[in-house]
Structure 1
Amino acid sequence: MTSTRPDVSVIVPVYNCEAWIDALLRSVLDQAGVDLEIIAICDGATDGSLAVLESMAARDARIRVVAQDNRGVSATRNAGLTLARGEWIAFADGDDWMKPGALRTWIDYGRRHELDVVIGNGFSFEALPPPADPQPMYERQPWGEICDGATWLKRTVPNDDWVVCVWLQCVRRDFVAKHGLRFEEGVVHEDIIWALQTGLRAQRVGFVREAFYGYRRNPASITNSPSHAAVARRAAGYLRVIDALVTAALDPQTDRTLSRILLRQANRESGHLLHVLRKRLNDDELRKPFARQFLQSGYVRVMLKGATNASEMWRALRCWRVYSRFAA
């Protein structure tokens, strides 16, 4: 690894990605026109992921491998943030893939416009090679514009086009350090909280429309796990996301327009929680504490305050009715 500061540090949490990690790392190593380091953190994997990482690191000094006991993806990314030396920080998941030119395009754009955050675009795939002309994940970002983070939230959250995927965000390391940004540990849906904190602090955000990042649809991910423990973690994650949105919305420094938008997003996230509790968590005793916490926190009132149409009003009333039954 060179002693000079890399252009970018790519943080890769790795947990049981043996079948895919080689392809992901090769797609990053093949990025031309940037001096990069890869910080690959093996988070207590129980398969052969660590052996693959160590073998690849022995052949390419740009890969730094860290092995730790299983601590979860947020703690793993935080460990990467502590170790990162690059001017920019990018993220990738171990089962995904990156198109050629991604990092150079993002960084060149960020430098040219003196950005804090570059918002990229991505596509989903099931197997490599990816589709030749994939459907982009996002269509309604402020393409070609530069704005502050609050404006980004105002422009995209109401349209359900808010980019919360951390692997579509290339951030300047000095910006992360200045604001002490870290992922909230032990929380599922941590990307939403990260994107919220980033949006509230960024002064200059820009957007690259080309879909460079490939997200693998992986049935083994936690969001697809049917186990009660995994579903309960998802429910707890939604509660924490709702709390983060409400706290930001009610902050006196948040202007009224953004406050209403964040409350509306809390309404939506409450609907996601309702779906998880009704459709995925079929245990009344496990449902009960989540329902009680929701009701005791006054989130029904928040949902009503954030409702902008009849459907969102009905969602709030339905949450009140169903959670009251679950909490009894």
Structure 2
Amino acid sequence: MTSPRIDASVIVPVYNCEAWLKPLLASVLDQEGVALEVIAVCDGATDGSLAVLEAMAARDARIRVVTQENRGLSATRNVGLALARGEWIVFADGDDWMKPGALRAWIGHGREHDLEVVIGNGFSFETLPAPADPAPLYERQPWGEICNGKTWMARTVPNDDWVVCAWLQCVRRDFVERHGLRFEEGIVHEDIIWALQVALKAQRVGFVRELYYGYRRNPASITNSPSPADVARRAAGYLRVIDALVTAALDPRAEAGFRRLLLRQANREGGNLLHILRKRMSDDQQRKLFAQQFLQSGYIRVMLKGATNASEFWRAVRCWRMYSRFAA
């Protein structure tokens, strides 16, 4: 007996999001026109998230609950990728929300145009119900076009509009498996490295402009956490992202234009790291260590090579001055 076809595997990492988990899961389970499975991976949650998952799974067989010791977002998503059975893979965070018709629109667009990756769009919110006329998270994607991943980056990186959020990417499972794509574990800002892998491999990427995904502005998220440990993890994550971009740029197979594009993105990430060190990191010794590592890695030279205009050039110069001061 053959198993019924599953259109989409929705992977939901769950860590201490009890207050928002029911609305998220309900918004996924209420998606019409698609056969789906929800792979909810409870990543060592210490609140009542697991109880919420188990109660909802008891009522809906489409939810598959997996529990593990706390290993972080990347490892959690990788568990979901290993278990996924759907034609398409979608990611949803436990505190977010999905608008009706999202999966049908994304998957329908992907099938119609024989895509490997569908890039969606979304909006941010604080509380439900969702705003009636929200501002889009992304505005300058190549809407209506089909392109490969490198062209996608070329069209969006210069506008600071490259979609690195995994939850706005609907990806064919056979594409993921064929290229062995996984999230890098043990780091923060892992979505950027994932998006880079996707862009390097994808030959057919398409775009859906409608705002289907709601991203909750959560003050408890790691990007907003004042914890010194979380701030340090963010800084280390940016260093790893820059390293990944530089490594891809050094690939002898990379064309000159794409190499410059990768270094341009590295220029931007160097500025993001500076913001963390200046505005979020309070430990002078810790700041010094990160600045020394940045300088010793030669990333100022990378930022200068990646500068394509006066603003990016001065960002590199400012980073050189500030990092040198921190490292002294």
TM over 0.5, shorter chain? yes
User: Aligned-pair distance for 1:194?
Assistant: 0.4
- Listed one character per residue, the Cα deviations across residues 267-297 of structure 1 (whole Å, up to 9, x for unaligned) are 1100110110011111111112211111111
Give the whole-Å Cα distance in 2 for the aligned partners of 1:321 and 1:163.
30
For 1:324, the equivalent position in structure 2 comes to: 324
User: Aligned-pair distance for 1:3?
Assistant: 2.8
- Listed one character per residue, the Cα deviations across residues 56-90 of structure 1 (whole Å, up to 9, x for unaligned) are 00000000000110000000000000000000000
User: Aligned-pair distance for 1:127?
Assistant: 0.6
1:52-91 equivalences under 5 Å are 52-91=52-91
For 1:141, the equivalent position in structure 2 comes to: 141
For 2:114, the equivalent position in structure 1 comes to: 114
Which secondary structure state, in structure 2, belongs to the residue aligned with residue 146 of structure 1? Answer: coil
Give the whole-Å Cα distance in 1 for the aligned partners of 2:136 and 2:296.
40
Pair 1:179 & 2:174 matched:
no
Bigger drift between 124-133 and 31-40 goes to: 124-133
For 2:266, the equivalent position in structure 1 comes to: 266
Amino acid across the alignment from 1:226: P
- Listed one character per residue, the Cα deviations across residues 279-322 of structure 1 (whole Å, up to 9, x for unaligned) are 11111111122111111110011111111122221221221222
- Listed one character per residue, the Cα deviations across residues 117-171 of structure 1 (whole Å, up to 9, x for unaligned) are 0000000111111011211111111111100111001001111110011000000
Which secondary structure state, in structure 2, belongs to the residue aligned with residue 130 of structure 1? Answer: coil
Amino acid across the alignment from 2:295: L
Give the whole-Å Cα distance in 1 for the aligned partners of 2:114 and 2:297.
41
For 1:293, the equivalent position in structure 2 comes to: 293
For 1:123, the equivalent position in structure 2 comes to: 123
Give the whole-Å Cα distance in 2 for the aligned partners of 1:222 and 1:44.
16
1:1-328 equivalences under 5 Å are 3-328=3-328
TM-score, normalised relative to structure 2: 0.98
Give the whole-Å Cα distance in 2 for the aligned partners of 1:73 and 1:293.
25
Give the whole-Å Cα distance in 2 for the aligned partners of 1:140 and 1:232.
32
Aligned-residue identity in percent: 80
User: Aligned-pair distance for 1:8?
Assistant: 0.5
Give the whole-Å Cα distance in 1 for the aligned partners of 2:260 and 2:154.
10
Amino acid across the alignment from 1:253: R
Which secondary structure state, in structure 1, belongs to the residue aligned with residue 5 of structure 2? Answer: coil
Which secondary structure state, in structure 2, belongs to the residue aligned with residue 12 of structure 1? Answer: strand
User: Aligned-pair distance for 1:5?
Assistant: 3.1
Give the whole-Å Cα distance in 2 for the aligned partners of 1:148 and 1:16.
37
- Listed one character per residue, the Cα deviations across residues 218-237 of structure 1 (whole Å, up to 9, x for unaligned) are 00000000111010000000
Which secondary structure state, in structure 1, belongs to the residue aligned with residue 208 of structure 2? Answer: strand
Which secondary structure state, in structure 2, belongs to the residue aligned with residue 147 of structure 1? Answer: coil
Amino acid across the alignment from 1:99: K
Amino acid across the alignment from 2:190: E
Amino acid across the alignment from 1:115: L
Provide structure 2 residue ranges, at least 5 long, that are not aligned to the other structure: none
Amino acid across the alignment from 1:6: I
- Listed one character per residue, the Cα deviations across residues 249-281 of structure 1 (whole Å, up to 9, x for unaligned) are 121111111111111110110011011001111
RMSD: 0.9
Give the whole-Å Cα distance in 2 for the aligned partners of 1:317 and 1:133.
40
Which secondary structure state, in structure 2, belongs to the residue aligned with residue 223 of structure 1? Answer: coil
Bigger drift between 31-40 and 318-327 goes to: 318-327
Give the whole-Å Cα distance in 1 for the aligned partners of 2:130 and 2:310.
41
Provide structure 1 residue ranges, at least 5 long, that are not aligned to the other structure: none
Bigger drift between 152-161 and 251-260 goes to: 251-260
Paired residue total: 327
- Listed one character per residue, the Cα deviations across residues 89-127 of structure 1 (whole Å, up to 9, x for unaligned) are 000000000000000110011011110000000001111
Which secondary structure state, in structure 1, belongs to the residue aligned with residue 267 of structure 2? Answer: helix
Give the whole-Å Cα distance in 1 for the aligned partners of 2:186 and 2:227.
17
Give the whole-Å Cα distance in 2 for the aligned partners of 1:191 and 1:263.
18
TM-score, normalised relative to structure 1: 0.98
Give the whole-Å Cα distance in 1 for the aligned partners of 2:134 and 2:282.
37
